[in-house]
Amino acid sequence: MATEVFVWWFLLCVVSALNVLALSYSARLLWQKQGAIPSDVYASRRLQLILSAGYVLGCAYRSALPVFDVQRICLFDSWLSSVIVGRSVATVAELCFVTQWALLMREISQVMQSKPGRMAAMAVVPLIAVAETCSWYSVLTTSNIGHVIEESLWGVSAMLLVISLLSMWPRSSQRLRPLLLAMCLTGIAYVAFMFLVDVPMYWSRWVADEASGRHYLSLSQGVLDTSGRWVVSQQWHVWKSEVIWMSLYFSIAVWLSIAFIHLPALKRQKNGDVVLLS
């Protein structure tokens, strides 16, 4: 294994191990709060914990056994590294993650009485379900155009949430604005990365494939191919194009997922003021 690849893979594994520990600690903290916070808030945070577990563990699996889907490249010679297994794990994990987004936005929009927020909360999971379908299309056929649509839908979903949060800004109190600002800045950074880095990367790959006259697989051929063929490569020049997005995805995105468990709950008082509960 190339030294650069080993260092990168080792760091991914270390971060993933720490993420699992952070998830376990989060579960302990939440359990200790039971009875000290309103039952509906506890139930909401427990659901966030369960969904976060799906995402954290899925990302840990993919960190230990990274896969370059369209090219069928993996680090280790094992069926557990096959594309069909890795993509299946990713699908479950990503649906868990976006459901966290939707639940959090629904919670905030209900308290803030925001119709745009409620609509965005209802829209993001179906949008990402379509994105996952496009991802599978690319993985099976090896055509990167599906990844272009997939990543664009992720960016659009995040954009909807940011716009919804911004629409609540004029009606939010001074105590709430730092939280809204942090969420908006995080969302804006995510949208910028998706449309300035991720989408162009997949678009350029698709354009290059089209220019070279690449032959794409049918869906049925793709199922057989992803199940039984994988190419082991441990060379840096093969993996370096994947390092940035994988590193950010398996670290910062996971930290956001865990952070959702600990976000303070909002409550509207009888006088109409919105306060932080925890």
How far apart are the C-alpha atoms of 185 and 252, rounded to whole Å? 14
How far apart are the C-alpha atoms of 62 and 250, rounded to whole Å? 8
How far apart are the C-alpha atoms of 182 and 4, rounded to whole Å? 34
Name the average pLDDT for the chain.
92
Please tell me the predicted confidence (pLDDT) of residue 1: 84
pLDDT at 4 over 90: yes
How far apart are the C-alpha atoms of 17 and 202, rounded to whole Å? 29
Residue 27 near residue 42, CB atoms below 8 Å: no
Name the pLDDT band for 274 (thresholds 50, 70, 90): low
pTM as predicted: 0.91
| Percent of the chain whose predicted confidence (pLDDT) is above 70 | 96
Residue 48: is it exposed, middle or buried by C-beta count within 10 angstroms (0-12/13-18/19+)? buried
How far apart are the C-alpha atoms of 133 and 212, rounded to whole Å? 26
Q: What is the dihedral of CA 245, 247, 252, 254, to 10 degrees?
A: 100
pLDDT in tens, 51-110: 999 999 999 999 999 999 998 999 999 999 999 999 999 999 999 999 999 999 998 888
How far apart are the C-alpha atoms of 172 and 186, rounded to whole Å? 18
Element housing 231 (H / E): strand 231-232
How far apart are the C-alpha atoms of 277 and 180, rounded to whole Å? 15
Q: Residue 150, SS3? A: helix
191, two tokens = 């949208």
In degrees, rounded to 5, the angle at the alpha carbon of residue 91 between the alpha carbons of residues 87 and 96 is 150
Please tell me the predicted confidence (pLDDT) of residue 272: 60
122: Cβ contacts below 8 Å, ≥ 6 apart: 102, 106
Q: What does DSSP say about strands 73-74 and 231-232: parallel, antiparallel, or unpaired?
A: parallel
Please tell me the predicted confidence (pLDDT) of residue 275: 56
Q: What does DSSP say about strands 274-276 and 266-268: parallel, antiparallel, or unpaired?
A: antiparallel
Q: Residue 172, SS3? A: coil
Name the pLDDT band for 236 (thresholds 50, 70, 90): very high
Domains in the chain: ranges and CATH? 3-276 (1.20.1070)
pLDDT in tens, 197-228: 999 999 999 999 999 999 999 999 999 999 99
pLDDT in tens, 125-177: 999 999 999 999 999 999 999 999 999 999 999 999 999 999 988 888 777 88
Residue 216: is it exposed, middle or buried by C-beta count within 10 angstroms (0-12/13-18/19+)? middle
